[in-house]
Amino acid sequence: MSVGSMPLNSLDLPKAPAQCRVVVAMSGGVDSSVVAALLREQGYDVIGVTMQLYDQGAAEHRPGSCCAGQDIYDARQAAALLGIPHYVLDYETRFRDKVIDAFAQSYAEGETPIPCVTCNQELKFTDLFDVARDLGADVLATGHYIASRAEGGERALFRAKDADRDQSYFLFATTRDQLRMLRFPLGEMTKPEVREHARRFGLNVADKPDSQDICFVSSGRYSDIVEKLAPKAAQPGEIVHVDGRVLGRHAGVMHYTIGQRRGLGLGSAAANSGEPLYVVRIDASRAQVTVGPRSALATRRVVLRDVNWIGAGDLLGAARSGREIAVRVRSTRPPVPACLETRGDDVLVEFVDDESGVAPGQACVFYESAEPRARVLGGGFIRAAEPAAAAPPRAASA
């Protein structure tokens, strides 16, 4: 492909690689290190940038951390080996205000938050963009497993080649403007291929373990952070059955999430119920946790907030027409058939088949279809879930 007489380079830009400045977000892991190495090998003008997001001492040498301590050291080592400039930027205050505080508050409201999405949305694809522009970069490249390419005159996101590593669920909030500058070189690669490249380049992170989901929880107990920042989440309350019976008490809604089965703290009350019990509802305002049989987890529709649309056309047009799409309501689940709807000013998603264990605070990510390499259409955060038993009947198909 080319623009006029100038062929496009591997980053879809009409320049020779040597004339393109690329800022690579380097977390200290194998993925971003390989991105920097591959682009350097291809002749691009590469600059590595690492965001220091939380206290280094708390995470020093802790397996599974990122953006602190050992990981910053690893990013520096990789940049030195590749012979590229590398900058470490202190964003601890911003990260605490935008991500950690929001994480705690979400639990206090009875939700199940996704801090990785918030981090991408509030820091990596905002503040880091500003840094990249200040450095004169043409593009910002990251080590995420998601594909990006030109589609209908704009750039679009697609699920990664490596389905087991696909990170599209965490990147649904990426905007059209951001997509114009973002590049994801690992979208067409598998994890084993990435590690093999790391060995070829002699990177000391070739066999480094992947970072964990909640990188800033140094103790492994997220409840310690939540209780400190949002004490309301640790307020004791009742555990009730969906039939109204009080089964026991809990030590704070922060210890529960929709769909949870283990660790309910019910002892003999659970054993005497005659069937497994699951968390089906959390009412933070009353400090009440409701449990019930698996059937009580069935969800017909979800109401969304903060919806981002990056598909063709516009969101309201798609929703008003009842567009058929595929969605994911958990990062570990495959996309399932659904339909976009509107109810007044609200955007809703109705599932073709009832979904189980849908939790407010999680994301509902839109795809063109359930196919492995489908286009990402955007998504939103789940504000409320409507139980299948309480939802009105579905309209008959035409």
Residues involved in catalysis? 119, 215
In the chain, DSSP assigns E strands to: 2-3, 6-7, 21-25, 45-52, 86-90, 139-141, 147-151, 154-158, 182-183, 237-241, 246-250, 278-283, 288-292, 298-309, 324-328, 336-343, 346-356, 363-367, 375-387
What does the angle CA 6 – CA 12 – CA 17 come to, to the nearest 5 degrees? Answer: 70
Residues 92/101, Cβ–Cβ less than 8 Å: no
Quickly list DSSP for 132-183. Answer: HHHTT-SEEE---S-EEEEETTEEEEE--SSTTT--GGGGTT--HHHHHHEE
Distance of CA 92 to the CA centre of its chain: 20
Q: Write down the residue that tokens 């047009």 correspond to.
A: 317
Q: Give burial (CB, 10 Å; 0-12/13-18/19+) of 153.
A: exposed
